[in-house]
Amino acid sequence: MKLNFRRIIAIINKEFIQIRRDPRTIALILMMPIMQLLLFGYAVSNNVDHVPTAVLNLDIGSQSRKLLSSFSNSQYFDLDYYVKSIDDVQKLVDKGAVKAGIIIPPDYSENIARGKTAQIQLVVDGTDPTTAQVILSSAGSITQVYSTEIVSQKIQTLTQGRKLSGVLDIRPRVWYNPDMDSVYFNIPGLIGIILQNITLMLTSFALVRERERGTLEQLIVTPIKKMELMIGKIVPYIIIGFVDLILAVAIGTLWFKVPITGNILLLFAFSIMFLLGALGVGLFISTISNTQLQAMQLSMFLIMPNILLSGFMFPRDAMPKVIYMLSNFIPLTYFLKVLRGIILKGVGIEYLWPEFMILVVFGVGVLVLAAGKFQKRIG
Amino acid sequence: MEYAIEIENLTKKFGNFTAVNNVSFNVKKGEIFVFLGPNGSGKTTVIRMLIGLLTPTSGLGRVLDFDIVKNPEQIRLNIGYMSQKFSLYDELTVEENLDFYAGVYLVPKDVLQQRKREILEMADLVGRENSITATLSGGWKQRLALGCAIIHNPKLVFLDEPTGGVDPVARRQFWDLIYRLSENGVTVMVTTHYMDEAEHCNTIGFIHYGNLLAVDTPENLKKNQMKGQIIEIKCDKLMESLELLKTVDFVKDAAVYGQGLHIVVDDAKRYLVTLADILKSGGVKVANIKHVNPSLEDVFVFLVENESRKQFIREMM
């Protein structure tokens, strides 16, 4: 089958004119990446700090004040409320005014002074388990450090000045994202999500719109070949996908200051492969839908599991085995690995070639499937 | 090759529903063939089979000597097609629409400008080249759609209900374009449900519920298909008179026609006076009663009645 370049150009040209004259499509192409990046970049943050906290201090000694100041100095806790009874703590948690409460018993300072184990109580609002988890672990490490300090002081006084050497000393070092800032995690993932959503939606409408308006029937009756039509329909959206990719990368690096440590050309090469798959899925939806509404519903149906399972929001390691297996069949899973690998870790093709192969196989496969499903007949 | 289209026993079924039933006819090269029938009678289905959009359930068809099932792509190179709703790209300008179809049909670039000018002049669209198609009125859109369908100079053009939803003046203008195409040797197959449009074509095919009732020239249809003669009556109390006349034994058929009634009888001269008397004694004021030549509508109504009588008899036996 010999493809005619002029026919393909005619389709591409027509597609671009239609996009150019439709303000809603233009808005979607330009605003969606910007809005999603800003929304996710700012609003969706897993960084839990400055937790509003209530304090019920029944102790009158100086030790408890020292402990509390180590809490407030940590930046993790804001000791907003000092209350008089356990009921008050309860009320503040119920109201949602605080997420945590620190309760210090009356004998706290006395116990410390006597060298006994002193107890404090931490109350955490568990409605949001992720936040509660972070609060628990930061409170844990604050008290850990504080108690080590007390013990070492005790030993120093007992041994007349001899310093305590620890038994086990962990020296953690976090690579690639040392501050563990969730923006670094979110932005590369978002680039993948945006790329997929916009191209999938636009292409799934591309053929259905023509079917709805009757222009597809007109087009089928011309001598245009199936592949010419398919290529003509895909190329404009690859270009648009690329515009959005550059836009998203620019916002990520310039606005959110997430540097691209790896090779940007490699990133682009991967993106093309990923785009082929997303466009193929869009075209496939196009061939099996009769109305734009159906196409929209099908796109949404596919986009949701992509967001949930790809590891964009929730770590795949925490998923049950079945779900984890399922997420292996989502190309976005691999693309996210690639994006985070190149942007955050700066790794190259030597580590990413399996993902490259998977994306190529998926992209070509789904395009062939869509082309096979599309018929120049209506019945 | 004498025929542009040859169809033999063409049938299309959608599940249990037979949309086109055993239809056979030929269309001569260079003629205007009007496919006439009410909405839903199977006209569009026949055309869609001829251009390869639908696969026939059974039967044979050849368009420009190419088999409609085996060679649809060869057919598509040589035909123009205008579907029911003028399928233009609304966001594109008039010229962009023409350029698009010229690109898809691979109209040679050296003749493109000349060809576009011809089309614009023919369709009376000169000066509108840069108008957005969505802003054009029905008549303009319809002529532009025809222009797009013939930009590559096809030998055969299919026009599916091209005049639906267009005002009478635009309809007349459009038919002038069809005659012009025919003068230039293009074969035109048009579907319509307007009887008056069929009067001036070369051949009419009457189709009703998937059955082809007759194929002939308009003159022959009126002369040969009607079994009987027509008496036209202008009178008051139309419906009452209609009921009254239907009870008369020599009246074969009676129907409202425009402002009056058309009555089918064997011999118009013989029954003219009798009919007038019957009406007068029934208390009807007759303004005018005369023998007229049958119109296409009379023929069509007769053929449909005849068909349902045959159907009725078949079902009884």
Predicted confidence at residue A186, as pLDDT, reads 85
Q: Which DSSP state fits B132?
A: B
**What is the percent of chain B where pLDDT is above 90?**
52
Task: Tell me which residue in B54, B92, B104 faces A378 most closely, judged by beta carbons.
Answer: B54
CA distance B13 to chain A (A): 11
Q: How far is CA A360 from CA A137, A186, A226, A312, A324, in A?
A: 42, 25, 22, 21, 22
Predicted confidence at residue A31, as pLDDT, reads 92
Task: Tell me which residue in A17, A21, A217 faces B53 most closely, judged by beta carbons.
Answer: A217
Contact A223/B76, CB-based, under 8 Å?
yes
Question: In terms of CA atoms, which chain B residue is nearest residue A376?
Answer: B53
- Share of chain B residues as helix, strand and coil, in percent rounded to the nearest 5: 40, 30, 30
Contact B92/A217, CB-based, under 8 Å?
no
Tell me which of A241 and B259 has the higher pLDDT.
A241
Average the pLDDT over B6-11 and give the result: 94
Residues of chain A with CATH 3.40.1710.10: 51-158
CA dist A260 and A254 (Å) reads: 11
Using a CB–CB cut-off of 8 Å, the residues of A that contact B are 4, 6-7, 9-11, 13-14, 17-18, 21-22, 213-215, 217-224, 376-379
Question: In terms of CA atoms, which chain B residue is nearest residue A214?
Answer: B87
For B113-141, what is each residue's pLDDT tens digit?
999 999 999 888 999 999 999 999 888 99
| Position A278 confidence tier, pLDDT thresholds 50, 70, 90 | very high
Instruction: Please name the CATH architecture into which domain A51-158 falls.
Output: 3-Layer(aba) Sandwich (3.40)
Residues in A touching B55 (Cβ below 8 Å): 377, 379
The question of ipTM being above 0.90 is answered as no
Question: In terms of CA atoms, which chain A residue is nearest residue B108?
Answer: A6
Residues in A touching B72 (Cβ below 8 Å): 376
For B37-49, what is each residue's pLDDT tens digit?
888 889 999 999 9
Nearest CA to B27 out of B9, B2, B59, B5 is that of B5
Q: How far is CA A208 from CA A216, A239, A287, A327, B282, in A?
A: 8, 20, 7, 29, 62
Comparing A47-51, A359-363, B261-265, the range with the smallest average pLDDT is A47-51
Tell me which of A203 and A181 has the higher pLDDT.
A203
Residues in A touching B92 (Cβ below 8 Å): 14, 17-18
Contact A224/B104, CB-based, under 8 Å?
yes
Contact A18/B91, CB-based, under 8 Å?
yes
CA distance A22 to chain B (A): 8
Q: Are A239 and A203 in contact (CB under 8 A)?
A: no
For A80-114, what is each residue's pLDDT tens digit?
999 999 999 999 999 989 999 999 999 888 888 88
Contact A217/B99, CB-based, under 8 Å?
no
Q: Are A327 and A306 in contact (CB under 8 A)?
A: no
One DSSP character per residue, B254-315 reads: EEEETTEEEEEES-HHHHHHHHHHHHHHTTPPEEEEEEEPPPHHHHHHHHHHHHHHHHHHHH
Q: Are A331 and A270 in contact (CB under 8 A)?
A: no
- Report the Cα A237 to chain-centroid distance in Å: 24
| Residues 6 or more apart whose Cβ sits within 8 Å of residue B126 | B120
Residues in A touching B83 (Cβ below 8 Å): 214, 217-218, 221
Contact A21/B101, CB-based, under 8 Å?
no
Contact A214/B81, CB-based, under 8 Å?
no
CA dist A174 and A163 (Å) reads: 29
Question: For chain B, first and last CA: distance in Å?
Answer: 43
Nearest CA to B285 out of B249, B234, B239 is that of B234
Contact B103/A9, CB-based, under 8 Å?
yes
Contact A10/B84, CB-based, under 8 Å?
no
The two tokens of residue A109 are: 């300072």
Domains observed in chain B? 3-216 (3.40.50.300), 226-316 (3.30.70.980)
For B242-252, what is each residue's pLDDT tens digit?
888 888 888 88
b/e code A214-232 from CB counts within 10 Å (16+ = b): ebbbbbbbbbbbeebbbbb
Question: In terms of CA atoms, which chain A residue is nearest residue B132?
Answer: A21
Average the pLDDT over B86-112 and give the result: 93
| Residues 6 or more apart whose Cβ sits within 8 Å of residue B26 | B3, B5, B6, B7
Residues in A touching B44 (Cβ below 8 Å): none
Look at residue A1 and tell me whether its pLDDT is greater than 90: no
Predicted confidence at residue A165, as pLDDT, reads 63
CA distance B23 to chain A (A): 19
Average the pLDDT over B174-187 and give the result: 93
Contact B91/A22, CB-based, under 8 Å?
yes
Question: In terms of CA atoms, which chain A residue is nearest residue B91?
Answer: A18
Contact B104/A223, CB-based, under 8 Å?
yes
Contact A6/B101, CB-based, under 8 Å?
no
For A261-274, what is each residue's pLDDT tens digit?
899 999 999 999 99
Look at residue A166 and tell me whether its pLDDT is greater than 70: no
CA distance B121 to chain A (A): 23
Look at residue A161 and tell me whether its pLDDT is greater than 70: no
Question: In terms of CA atoms, which chain B residue is nearest residue A7?
Answer: B104
For B189-230, what is each residue's pLDDT tens digit?
999 888 888 888 999 999 998 999 889 998 888 888 887 888
Mutate: best of B87, B98, B141, B144, partner A, most A CBs <10 A? B87
Task: Tell me which residue in A6, A22, A213 faces B87 most closely, judged by beta carbons.
Answer: A213
CA dist B191 and A285 (Å) reads: 34
Task: Tell me which residue in A4, A221, A378 faces B76 most closely, judged by beta carbons.
Answer: A221
Predicted confidence at residue A163, as pLDDT, reads 64
Residues in B touching A219 (Cβ below 8 Å): 104
Look at residue A39 and tell me whether its pLDDT is greater than 90: no
| Position B1 confidence tier, pLDDT thresholds 50, 70, 90 | low
3-state SS, chain A, equals CCCCHHHHHHHHHHHHHHHHCCHHHHHHHHHHHHHHHHHHHHHCCCCCCCEEEEEEECCCCHHHHHHHHHHHHCCCEEEEEECCCHHHHHHHHHHCCCCEEEEECCCHHHHHHHCCCCCCEEEECCCCHHHHHHHHHHHHHHHHHHHHHHHHHHHHHHCCCCCCCCCCCCCCCCCCCCCCCHHHHHHHHHHHHHHHHHHHHHHHHHHHHHHHHCHHHHHHCCCCCHHHHHHHHHHHHHHHHHHHHHHHHHHHHHHCCCCCCCCHHHHHHHHHHHHHHHHHHHHHHHHHCCCHHHHHHHHHHHHHHHHHHCCCCCCHHHCCHHHHHHHCCCHHHHHHHHHHHHHHHCCCHHHHHHHHHHHHHHHHHHHHHHHHHCCCCCC
Residues in B touching A10 (Cβ below 8 Å): 99-100, 102-104
The H-or-E segment that residue B36 falls in is: strand B32-36
CA distance A21 to chain B (A): 6
Look at residue A46 and tell me whether its pLDDT is greater than 80: no
Question: In terms of CA atoms, which chain B residue is nearest residue A13?
Answer: B100
